[in-house]
Structure formats: structure tokens, C-alpha cells
């Protein structure tokens, strides 16, 4: 019998290392005991080893971090049984929803998802009293070990603040860097602050007595969270007065909405449109990302009146961090290819169809996620206005997402590569995105594809001349 001892809570890295070690040693689940810092009854753990990562289906890899935080003491054993079966031939096991193991793990994942939702929705920060820099503290009692999984959400939402989240099992602290510490106490959180009165007034003003549903309220906002939420102090009085307020609304004489002049409204809208690239960029920079997570909007770069404009897909990790387009690995490859094609990058205009970085978080890595057609459509107006202000002679679409943004159509690159008609005042050219070249596994194929990419850029340069 082999014993694996993991840290209390959600020890994701420890589980991954132990699972690789056990599978490399061909130790089946029935010969394995999982524990969290408890005395062993069966002897010592396996000796540490530097085993390679497991090649797992995407569905399995995504499931593991969503089950490890569960409070069920059998979670590690269940996950290791899943890995063992997948590695030993059942690659499509996650598709068998009727399998008892898969069904149980799915239910555990849903429980973690619900707990994360409750923490995101019901956690309330309060300002610590005192002089000096502002600091905010919140208390929360999750059902599962989700603190580390939930903390990045609050980093993204409250990046400019200094805050701490205290729970009975641990604490998270943000002051420009995210740190985790020992458990906290509810007594360490202020009872209230000046902001809460205004928040209660807002909650009361948006409360609709005609749609009161106590069962739905209890299901969505369980009573265990009430004492940490300032707005809940107003709920009993709002419920008691709901019937009378609803009746008063029914009896009140209806009023006709004020008429608006559509001609004046349209004229006002046209006046509100940005009248320069700088004004457009200010609008883009102020706008929230369609998909939360991006650090900032990444604006286009280059001179107005550039002969050639290059449109990519969306910013990557480095672009999001630096706030400039095409500065990551794909951008460096593009710069090299432009130089070989005789195009001065400083005289070209570079931008993206989508202005914010969309990603999936895996551990500490932000993995690029392709934007959907709806997200491309959301940003299309900005791209159209941007190209109107730049007024290039030629626009080069780098990849299928850029083509979709410029034409509104899904067009295979292999079929449309070369000169293209975008139905715009400028000429068009379609080629691959440089990130495609980076993904090619074979070096010989990569070199051939790179030379073809440089040839495309030479042709585009000749067209713009």
C-alpha cells in the first residue's frame, strides 16, 4: 500500500506531481491511500521522482482543478482512478456521462462552480478605519477550499486597491502582488463603512415589490451569507412592505412617455461619434473588455496615412501586459518577416480585430483563447472607424479572424490567400497569422511556411507601391 500525503485544502500541484509519480511506477488506485498531513498507517510515501507530465484529454485536464478544491476527502482518490482509467485505454471516459465515477466527479465540479459563484457574488469588502493608504477587508465562509481559485477574479476586478480576504481556512492579500496566508477571524473585519449606506439606498431603490419571490431569493442568496452583506439588513422591511407597494403601483395613474424627436436624436448620435483616431482610441481605452480578464485595451500603432495596415486577431499575453500590438513571439516573427520583405514596420500600421486579450488561466499561465464570431462582431465597428481614420492603400488580413472582421464572412485562408476584395476604399490581401508558423511542429515545414509568408508580404508591398 502506497501513501500520498498532500497539503490541507486544495493541493493541486501536489496532486499532479503525485499522480505522475504513481502512474510512472504503475501503482493502481486500489493500492494507493491519499491523506492530508495525517499519520500514515501503511508505511512511507514513494520516493520523489522527476516524472514527465501526463498526456490527458482536454476534458480531463480541465476537470482536475475544478474538483481538487472540493471538501470531499475522497476527491484525490477519485481523480486518480479517473487518470488511471484514461491512461490505460479509456481516453473517451469523460464522454460517458452514465459512468458512476464520471457522474460523481461532474457533480463535484458543479458544486465548486456554485461555490465560486457565491463567493464572487456575495463577498463584500469594507474599508479599514484609520489614516494612511486605503485598505479593504472582507470575510467569507466558502463551502469548499476555493480561496486560491477565486482570488484571481478579485485581482482582476480590484487591481488598483489594496485588500485582504479572510476565511476560516486561509487568507488572500493583494497589494500589487497576490499572497496567501493563515486563516483569519470575522472579528478582524470592520462592521461597516461609509459606502454601505449608499449601497443600501441603491439596493432599496432597485427592489421591485411586484416581482417578490421569497423561494427564489433564498435559493439564489442563502441565509448563511446574509450577515456579511450590508443590503440584507433592508430585506425584512422591503418584504413586509412589498404587498402595499405593489398595490400602490397598480393603482397609480399611468403616464405617457415623453416624445423624442428622432431627427434630433440621430443628429446628436453623429455628434457623439469620435472625430479623430485619438478620440476613437480614448473610447476604446475606456471600454470594458467583452470577456473579463484583460489588463487593458491594446490600441493600433503606426502613422495615419500608412501605405499598409496589418490586421491581426487579438492581443496576446505580452501585448496585454505591455499595451502594444505584436510585441510577443508572433510579433517578433512578423517584424523579422517584414524586414526580409522590405517593409519598414515603423511606417506600417498594426492593429487587431479584437482589442482585448481573451485567455484561459492554467495555473499561472494565461493561454490564448480564440475569439468567437460574436466577439469579433462586437469590436468590428471600432476596427472600421480605425481604418477610416488611418486610410491605408492596402490592408493585410493576418489569419481567419481578421478576414471575418473585414468581410463578415468565414473564409478559409488556404483558399483565399493572396489579393482580396474587402468591399472597402482600400485594396486587400489575405495571408496567415505569424502565430500559425510558430505552431508548426516540424522545423522543415516551418521554414517552408515562413518563406511563403515572406513572399506574401513582398507581394502585398508591391501592391501598396
Q: What is the pLDDT of residues 330-370, one digit of tens each?
A: 999 999 999 999 999 999 999 999 999 999 888 888 988 99
In a 13 Å sphere around the CA of 218, the CA atoms on its Cβ side amount to 5
- 43 — pLDDT class (breaks 50, 70, 90): very low
For the ranges 108-122, 183-197, 224-238, 391-405, the lowest mean pLDDT is seen at 224-238
Residue 216 host element (H or E) = helix 214-220
- 49 — pLDDT class (breaks 50, 70, 90): low
Residue 132 has pLDDT above 80, yes or no: no
- 168 — pLDDT class (breaks 50, 70, 90): very high
* Residue 177 φ/ψ region, left for φ over 0, alpha for ψ in the -120 to 50 degree band, beta for the rest: beta
- pLDDT computed for residue 327 by the predictor: 95
Average pLDDT over every residue of 208-215:
78
Kindly state the percentage of the chain with pLDDT values over 90.
Answer: 63
- pLDDT computed for residue 134 by the predictor: 86
Q: Which residue has the higher pLDDT, 251 or 89?
A: 89
For the ranges 69-73, 112-116, 195-199, 217-221, the lowest mean pLDDT is seen at 195-199
Q: Which residue has the higher pLDDT, 257 or 82?
A: 82
- Segment of 214-228, 287-301, 432-446 carrying the highest mean pLDDT: 432-446
Residue 20 has pLDDT above 80, yes or no: yes
- Residue 192 to residues 59, 125, 146, 198, Cα–Cα distance (Å): 43, 9, 25, 12
Distance (Å, whole) CA 308 – CA 347: 8
- pLDDT computed for residue 164 by the predictor: 96
- pLDDT computed for residue 246 by the predictor: 77
- pLDDT computed for residue 41 by the predictor: 46
- pLDDT computed for residue 1 by the predictor: 85
Residue 436 has pLDDT above 70, yes or no: yes
Q: Which residue has the higher pLDDT, 232 or 75?
A: 75
Considering the chain, what is the average pLDDT of its residues? 88
Surface-to-core class of residue 225, CB atoms within 10 Å of its CB (0-12 exposed, 13-18 middle, 19+ buried): middle
Alpha carbon 37 to chain centroid distance?
33
Encode pLDDT of 374-411 as tens digits. 889 989 999 999 999 999 999 999 999 999 999 988 88
Q: 3-class DSSP state for residue 9? A: coil
- Residue 330 to residues 153, 267, 316, 335, 403, Cα–Cα distance (Å): 28, 43, 9, 9, 18
Q: Which residue has the higher pLDDT, 190 or 45?
A: 190
Average pLDDT over every residue of 259-277:
67
- pLDDT computed for residue 356 by the predictor: 94
Q: Which residue has the higher pLDDT, 372 or 194?
A: 372
Average pLDDT over every residue of 249-254:
72
Q: Is the pTM higher than 0.75?
A: no
- pLDDT computed for residue 40 by the predictor: 46
Kindly state the percentage of the chain with pLDDT values over 70.
Answer: 91
Residue 359 host element (H or E) = strand 359-362
Average pLDDT over every residue of 256-261:
62
Distance (Å, whole) CA 130 – CA 166: 19
Residue 200 has pLDDT above 80, yes or no: no
Amino acid at each position: 500500500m502506497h501513501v500520498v500525503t498532500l497539503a490541507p485544502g486544495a493541493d493541486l500541484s501536489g496532486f499532479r506531481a503525485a499522480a505522475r509519480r504513481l502512474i510512472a511506477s504503475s501503482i493502481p488506485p486500489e493500492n494507493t491511500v491519499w491523506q492530508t498531513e495525517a499519520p500514515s498507517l501503511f508505511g512511507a510515501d514513494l520516493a520523489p521522482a522527476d516524472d514527465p507530465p501526463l498526456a490527458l484529454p482536454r476534458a480531463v485536464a480541465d476537470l482536475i482543478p475544478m474538483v481538487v478544491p472540493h471538501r470531499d476527502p475522497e476527491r484525490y482518490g477519485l481523480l486518480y482512478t479517473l487518470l488511471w482509467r484514461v491512461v490505460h485505454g479509456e481516453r473517451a471516459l469523460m464522454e460517458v456521462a452514465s459512468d458512476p465515477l464520471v457522474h460523481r466527479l461532474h457533480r463535484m465540479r458543479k458544486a465548486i462552480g456554485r461555490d465560486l459563484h457565491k463567493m464572487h457574488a456575495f463577498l463584500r469588502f469594507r474599508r479599514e478605519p484609520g489614516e494612511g493608504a486605503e485598505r479593504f477587508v472582507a470575510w467569507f465562509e466558502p463551502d469548499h477550499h476555493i480561496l486560491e481559485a477565486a482570488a484571481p477574479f478579485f485581482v482582476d476586478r480590484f487591481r488598483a486597491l489594496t485588500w485582504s480576504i479572510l476565511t476560516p481556512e486561509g487568507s488572500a492579500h493583494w497589494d500589487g502582488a497576490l499572497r496567501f496566508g493563515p486563516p483569519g477571524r470575522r472579528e478582524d473585519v470592520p462592521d461597516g463603512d461609509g459606502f454601505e449606506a449608499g449601497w443600501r439606498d441603491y439596493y432599496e431603490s432597485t427592489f421591485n415589490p411586484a416581482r417578490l419571490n421569497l423561494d427564489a431569493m433564498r435559493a439564489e442568496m442563502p441565509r448563511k451569507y446574509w450577515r456579511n452583506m450590508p443590503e440584507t439588513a433592508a430585506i425584512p422591511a422591503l418584504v413586509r412592505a412589498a404587498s402595499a407597494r405593489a398595490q400602490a403601483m397598480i393603482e397609480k395613474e399611468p403616464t405617457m412617455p415623453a416624445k423624442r424627436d428622432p431627427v434630433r436624436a440621430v443628429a446628436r448620435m453623429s455628434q457623439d461619434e469620435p472625430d479623430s483616431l485619438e478620440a476613437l482610441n480614448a473610447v476604446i481605452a475606456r471600454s470594458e473588455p467583452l470577456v473579463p480578464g484583460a489588463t487593458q485595451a491594446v490600441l493600433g500603432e503606426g502613422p495615419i496615412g500608412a501605405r499598409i495596415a496589418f490586421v491581426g486577431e487579438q492581443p496576446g499575453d505580452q501585448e496585454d501586459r505591455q499595451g502594444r500590438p505584436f510585441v510577443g513571439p508572433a510579433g517578433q516573427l512578423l517584424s523579422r518577416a517584414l524586414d526580409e520583405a522590405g517593409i519598414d514596420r515603423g511606417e506600417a500600421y498594426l492593429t487587431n480585430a479584437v482589442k482585448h486579450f481573451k485567455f484561459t488561466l492554467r495555473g499561472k499561465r494565461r493561454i490564448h483563447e480564440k475569439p468567437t464570431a460574436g466577439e469579433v462582431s462586437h469590436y468590428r465597428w471600432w476596427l472600421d472607424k480605425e481604418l477610416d481614420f488611418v486610410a491605408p492603400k492596402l490592408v493585410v488580413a493576418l489569419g481567419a479572424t481578421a478576414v471575418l472582421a473585414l468581410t463578415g464572412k468565414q473564409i478559409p485562408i488556404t483558399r483565399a490567400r493572396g489579393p482580396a476584395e474587402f468591399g472597402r476604399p482600400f485594396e486587400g490581401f489575405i495571408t496567415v497569422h505569424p502565430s500559425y508558423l510558430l505552431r508548426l511542429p516540424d522545423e522543415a515545414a516551418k521554414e517552408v511556411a515562413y518563406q511563403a509568408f515572406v513572399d506574401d508580404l513582398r507581394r502585398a508591398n508591391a501592391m501598396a507601391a
